Amino acid sequence: MQSSLRQPRESSPFYRQKTETQTGARGGGPGSGPLTPAPCSLPQPRAMMKTLSSGNCALSVPAKNSYRMVVLGASRVGKSSIVSRFLNGRFDDQYTPTIEDFHRKVYNIRGDMYQLDILDTSGNHPFPAMRRLSILTGDVFILVFSLDNRESFDEVKRLQKQILEVKSCLKNKTKEAAELPMVICGNKNDHGELCRQVPATEAELLVSGDENCAYFEVSAKKNTNVDEMFYVLFSMAKLPHEMSPALHRKISVQYGDAFHPRPFCMRRVKEMDAYGMVSPFARRPSVNSDLKYIKAKVLREGQARERDKCTIQ
Ligand SMILES: Nc1nc2c(ncn2[C@@H]2O[C@H](COP(=O)(O)OP(=O)(O)OP(=O)(O)O)[C@@H](O)[C@H]2O)c(=O)[nH]1
Ligand SMILES: [Mg+2]
């Protein structure tokens, strides 16, 4: 069973690396830091490549390294604030309701390209069919409630149920148990115990017995436990730890880079390096693309299953 209410562990590799990357790791533009201009010199896997445009450089990510993280929860619980912490480390006290936001982060981790799409959904879910589609396309999930709002916790319980139902349809198609890495996130823990409406023990019950599920109490405002939450989520999803916000060097694409004569690219990197870049022009794929994505995933999983069967025989 996954331990539910996670606390930072100073002995974890996450902490060791965090300290290393903290010094001078942030804000490195494409021309700064140790990046050597050697455009697209990395060895590229041949099969199932997905090309995405970043600035004026095409980055190729193997389909098997592309993931989608879906963030769900009631309105005003802090979903967008958590996403903002993840993408740029910022927090905004102002509230702007989300209709649906799509972000993309591209990583070069020890020479391998990864892509993480982030779907920040609306707490008002005006379009139930869209929510169902979001769930179908999601690989990893963050369900957010506010610790000072009981109804938002009830909504998380409904969402967890819906995810399991929707994904079990897909499971029937792939005829294998779906692994659903999911974090349940009690946000706004900076409000203190007096405001608490959801006891930790009750929230922990939602994740007990499921090794792909964990519970965290966080504060997007104070940046408490947010990095740790992502670290555990990626670990459960068997994604590289370096995808966590604190464990890679962040590369920002300046607006002008899109027009730079020499295309910006994740260039020659040292073996052990990890880089992440928020794609500035990411657009939400169409419903049609989403459906194709689901189909491809089902097929891929089916093929993997067949391969496994062959190995066993
Ligand atoms: N005190 C405190 N306020 C927070 C925290 N996280 C978010 N907020 C505030 O709560 C309000 C709502 O945050 P959002 O991130 O926009 O909430 P949301 O869940 O994305 O809301 P919708 O887009 O409407 O679904 C904003 O005013 C934030 O500044 C937190 O950890 N602590
Ligand atoms: Mg929002």
Share of the chain above pLDDT 70, in %: 67
Picking from 26-40, 80-94, 103-117, 274-288, which range would have the lowest pLDDT averaged per residue?
26-40
- Closest residue by Cα to atom 8, ligand 1, is 78
pLDDT for res 308: 53
- CA-to-CA separations, 171 to 208, 252, 275, 297, in angstroms, rounded: 22, 38, 34, 11
Count of alpha carbons within 13 angstroms of residue 229, beta-carbon side: 26
Q: What are the strands, taking DSSP E only, across 83-136?
A: 100-109, 112-121
Query: Of ligand 1's atoms, which has the minimum distance to the CA of residue 122?
Result: 25
Ligand 1 close to Cβ of residue 186 (< 6 A): no
pLDDT for res 46: 40
Assign domain 57-286 to its CATH architecture: 3-Layer(aba) Sandwich (3.40)
pLDDT for res 222: 97
Q: How far is the CA of 143 from the centre of ligand 2 (A)?
A: 13
Q: Which residues of 170-194 are buried (b: 16+ CB within 10 A; e: fewer)?
A: ebeebeeebbbbbbbbbbbbeeeee
Confidence bin at 35 (pLDDT 50/70/90): very low
- Supply the pTM of this predicted model: 0.78
pLDDT for res 16: 41
Residue 2's CB is within 10 A of a number of other CB atoms, namely 18
Residues in the chain: 313
Confidence bin at 38 (pLDDT 50/70/90): very low
Q: How far is the CA of 219 from the centre of ligand 2 (A)?
A: 15
**Cβ–Cβ under 8 Å, residues 82 and 187:** yes
Rg of the chain over Cα atoms, rounded to whole angstroms, equals 20
User: Which are the contacts of 300, defined by CB distance < 8 A and separation ≥ 6?
Assistant: 63, 64
pLDDT tens digit sequence for 76-91: 999 999 999 999 999 9
Residue 47 has pLDDT above 90, yes or no: no
pLDDT for res 59: 65
Ligand nearest to the CA of 97: 1
Highest mean pLDDT among 58-62, 119-123, 131-135: 119-123
Ligand 1 pocket test: pick from 70, 83, 87, 95 the residue with the most ligand atoms within 8 Å of its Cβ: 95
**Cβ–Cβ under 8 Å, residues 265 and 30:** no
**Cβ–Cβ under 8 Å, residues 186 and 215:** yes
CA dihedral over 163, 137, 133, 305, signed as positive or negative? negative
Residue 105 has pLDDT above 80, yes or no: yes
Confidence bin at 129 (pLDDT 50/70/90): confident
pLDDT for res 191: 95
- DSSP 8-state secondary structure symbol assigned to residue 189: G
Ligand 1 close to Cβ of residue 126 (< 6 A): no
CA dihedral over 152, 154, 156, 162, signed as positive or negative? negative
pLDDT for res 153: 98
Residue 99 has pLDDT above 80, yes or no: yes
pLDDT tens digit sequence for 228-237: 999 999 999 9
Residue 213: φ, ψ to 5°: -130, 140
Which residue has better confidence, 78 or 209? 78
Residue 249 has pLDDT above 90, yes or no: no
Q: What is the mean pLDDT of residues 278-292?
A: 84
